[in-house]
Amino acid sequence: MPAPVLEVRSITKQFESVRAVGDVSFEVQRGEILGYLGPNGAGKTTSIRMILGIFQPDAGEISIHIGEHSGRLLKERTGYLPEERGLYSDATVLDALVYFAELKGLSRAEARPLVLQWLGRFDLHEWANKKVERLSKGMQQKVQFIAAVAHKPDLLVLDEPFSGLDPVHQDLLKDVIRELRDGGAAIMLSAHQMNQVEELCDRIFLIDRGRRVLYGTLDEIKAQDGEHVVRLRFDGSAESLSALPGVKDLAIDGDRASLRLERGAGPDAFVRSLPATLAIREITVTRPPLHDIFVRTVGRESHEAR
């Protein structure tokens, strides 16, 4: 396996008495999207800022491997969409974007066509010479995204890229993110919409209270979680289902029911134990959605901490 583009080893950051990030390690490969998840205040932004060299970790190591380069951060090969959006509001869209590309080491002549191309892609070409402050929030969001990607970064960090976008533009952005991944970028994506994360991300890192709680591919995480979600339509009475081994959270609504199977109570055993009195018309057994795992894991963590 080639060296990962981003390699984070045991980084720690302390602010006064608060340990914002403790002993966090992960990596992001070329052509991969890592979902970097966590509740508010879990230490996501702090770790992202360390990765981008905005501030230094107290301990641990962050190394970058791009082509022949191996070692310290290459700011010019990195793209960043911050959670707190900000652009020069009194500058024109084109000027601001060319300037940010220049800060990444491009010449003005190189930057201009790239920026214009991206503005076209996002339907903003008519706004190129308008001031940033005149743009709607969604448009500014797209401009901010262009600032992160115009210089073709090898490592791209996207913090909440979907917030403030309508569904059409969310889909457009998803397509673009997939293209960038297919083009070889290593992408770290932080988002609160778990369905988007499930659609896009190859692997997941879940951070809570500054520590790693889950890390792996979606399948691994779901297998590790071990629970299953069952949905069914039936004739007769489904009340008896709650007595079956491993069944919890049974919810019945007319001729529909949903329930969860505890870890260890596999779908196989469940299906075999279904009572003959219940006529099943439809049934699906799936791994739980990431959303449920997130809520359960983070909820449990905060419960245990008390």
Q: Which of residues 105-144 bind another protein (CB under 8 A)?
A: 105
Compare residues 148 and 238 and give the one whose CB is closer to another protein.
148
DSSP helix, strand, coil percent of the chain (3-state; round to 5): 35, 30, 30
DSSP string of 213-246, one letter each residue: EEEEEHHHHHHHH--EEEEEEEES--GGGGGSTT
Contact with another protein (CB under 8 A) among 3, 12, 14, 53: 53
Is residue 84 part of the contact set for another protein (CB under 8 A)? yes
- Residue 80 Cβ vs another protein, minimum distance, rounded to whole Å: 4
| Phi, psi angle pair for 147, to nearest 5° | -60, -30
Contact with another protein (CB under 8 A) among 147, 186, 194, 293: 147
| Stretch of 103-111, 192-200, 267-275, 289-297 lying at the interface with another protein (CB under 8 A) | 103-111
Contact with another protein (CB under 8 A) among 49, 142, 181, 209: 49
Compare residues 18 and 251 and give the one whose CB is closer to another protein.
18
Is residue 102 part of the contact set for another protein (CB under 8 A)? yes
Is residue 41 part of the contact set for another protein (CB under 8 A)? no
94 CB neighbour count, 10 Å cutoff: 20
- Residue 75 Cβ vs another protein, minimum distance, rounded to whole Å: 5
Compare residues 36 and 100 and give the one whose CB is closer to another protein.
100
Residue 189 Rama label (left phi>0; alpha psi -120 to 50; beta): beta
